[in-house]
Amino acid sequence: MNAPLLSVEGLEKRFSIHRSALDFAIGSPEGFLPALRGVGFRIASGETLGLVGESGSGKTTAGRIVARLLEPDAGRIEFGGTDWLALRGAELRRRRRELQIVFQDPQSSLNPRMQVGDQIGEPLRVQGLARGKDLRERVGGLLSEVGLPPALASRYPAELSGGQRQRVAIARALATRPRLVVCDEPVSALDVSIAAQIVNLLLELRERAGLSYLFISHDVAVVARVADRIAVFYLGRVVEEGPSREVTGRPLHPYTAALVSAAPDPDPLGGRRRIVLAEGPPDGRNPPPGCPFHPRCPIARDRCREERPALQEVSTARTVACFYPGELP
């Protein structure tokens, strides 16, 4: 990939664990939970990368670090040819217009006391991009762009449906005409039919505005619909990455195969065999030796219990961290 829009290398992040509010106040953690362990990925201009994995796999942490809502303990991020983590103050504020985020739950990401139009227009005011009549016109245009009538600008979030609120959140993210949008589980709080509409809207906006997405979800089927490439997270690491159709059509890592098998099967005769994993994910504070997936893996062998496989390229644009890739159908 030449000159990626976003390049992430060696991202590390751990969170302190406190037994009580008092421990948190005096700064004495009981321990630390590693959320990211040397994560790296790239996104080209106009491309969508999907991050998939179970809850606690680290995918949301990675997205929030990219959006500069969290700071990493180690690693490097380049965005648009700039050292993204080195930006501070006014320069960071100015460059934030190029990278926006859409959160999982629009109910909590929107201010219930502010009118919809004010919330969409706030990024434009903060960045000094529009005022007065121009601001109102641009807000109306953004509402139309996401399929909502401009008259909704005077409404409050509580007066809207869940799907409408998420469209408002998307309009707010688009207000500054960003180059990259981080979508953090943007449809998981919606019912199936509304979620499908939001996914289609995101695809239309990508084509219309030339957007790039970092699309985060636990739902492989949704990610396969949106993403050009998929990176599979497990216990804070990327265990497989490749083109979306290849990863979902021929998964190489057993964990990926299990995720794909759990997706709804469009075949009415049930042609897909469900892979049921033996147990839940291990404690991230004390991961098992060797491959961290081996206690749950149906094809684990002695080597898996003793050595941790590195993420290696196995074919063009395909990488996997497994000693026996593709053995689990």
Q: Are 237 and 210 in contact (CB under 8 A)?
A: no
The answer to whether 217 and 189 have CB atoms below 8 angstroms apart is no
Whole-angstrom Cα distance, residue 152 to residue 293?
Answer: 48
| Domain residue spans of the chain | 6-320
Element (DSSP H or E) covering residue 312? strand 312-315
Q: Where residue 223 falls among pLDDT bands split at 50, 70, 90? A: very high
This prediction's pTM: 0.92
What are 71-112's pLDDT values in tens digits?
999 999 999 999 999 999 999 999 999 999 999 988 889 999
Say if CB 195 and CB 162 are below 8 A apart: no
To the question of domain 6-320 being in CATH 3.40.309.10, the answer is no
Q: Residue 21: pLDDT band by 50, 70, 90 thresholds? A: low
User: Would the pLDDT of 1 be above 60?
Assistant: no
What is each CA distance from 165 to 105, 153, 194, 216, 259, in whole angstroms? 9, 12, 11, 19, 29
CB 304 within 8 A of CB 297: yes
Q: Please, which residues bridge with residue 181 across strands?
A: 100, 213
